Amino acid sequence: MKKNGIESQTLKNIAFTAVCIALCIILPQAFHLIPNGGKIFSPMHIPILICGLACAWQYGLICALSGVLLSSLLTSMPTVPQLPSMMTECAVYAVSAALLIHFLRKGRRFSGIYISLVGAMIAGRLAGGIVKAFILGNEYNLHLWVSGYFIKAFPAIIIHLLLIPPIVRALAKSGFIKE
């Protein structure tokens, strides 16, 4: 079905992406009420990863870049020094999640969602670390990368693995996104 020349699924993707961008601003505000809650739980990653898994890579990329930038401009989170690595990390999350779920050909079954999610989380952390290493030079090392992206983020990784796949699966079962 088309509305004014735009497919229904395209309109859903646009609206869903806008909601995810708004969540990129709202969720961190709630989690920052907890001391170090933003760093520990990585709440901004949740809507970005969901958008990447639920929509095409273009929507995920727009969500990641817009969400991170708008959150920084409106709330100062992430801070300006963190912005390049965070934008890179989140953009790679969204694009790789979308591409992996598309090319795995497992649809939105749990196995395809988990494989795509884990692959995206690894790729995004690698990309963010590379940008930090480029910016910080000799001040940044493997220990800092592992500590920041895996050890401190361990609760976030667990939460993302428990929360995101059921949400994406529910969106698929409801017909909101293509199976």
Q: Would 178 be classed as within a structural domain?
A: no
Q: Within 10 Å of residue 23's Cβ, how many Cβ atoms?
A: 19
pTM: 0.92
Alpha-carbon gap, residue 129 to 131, rounded angstroms:
5
pLDDT at 136: 93
Q: Would 87 be classed as within a structural domain?
A: yes
CB-neighbour burial class of residue 148 (10 A; exposed 0-12, middle 13-18, buried 19+): middle
> What is the domain count for the chain?
1
R_g (Cα) of the chain, nearest Å = 16
Q: Would 113 be classed as within a structural domain?
A: yes
Beta bridge partners of 2: 7
**Per-residue pLDDT tens for 46-93?**
999 999 999 999 999 999 999 999 999 999 999 999 999 999 999 999
CATH of the domain at 163: 1.10.1760.20
Alpha-carbon gap, residue 102 to 89, rounded angstroms:
20
Q: Would 179 be classed as within a structural domain?
A: no
Dihedral angle sign, alpha carbons of residues 19, 22, 28, 30: negative
Name the pLDDT band for 2 (thresholds 50, 70, 90): low
Q: Would 64 be classed as within a structural domain?
A: yes
Name the pLDDT band for 13 (thresholds 50, 70, 90): very high
Q: Would 22 be classed as within a structural domain?
A: yes
The parent domain of residue 68 ranges over 2-173
**Per-residue pLDDT tens for 119-175?**
999 999 999 999 999 999 999 999 999 999 999 899 999 999 999 999 999 998 998
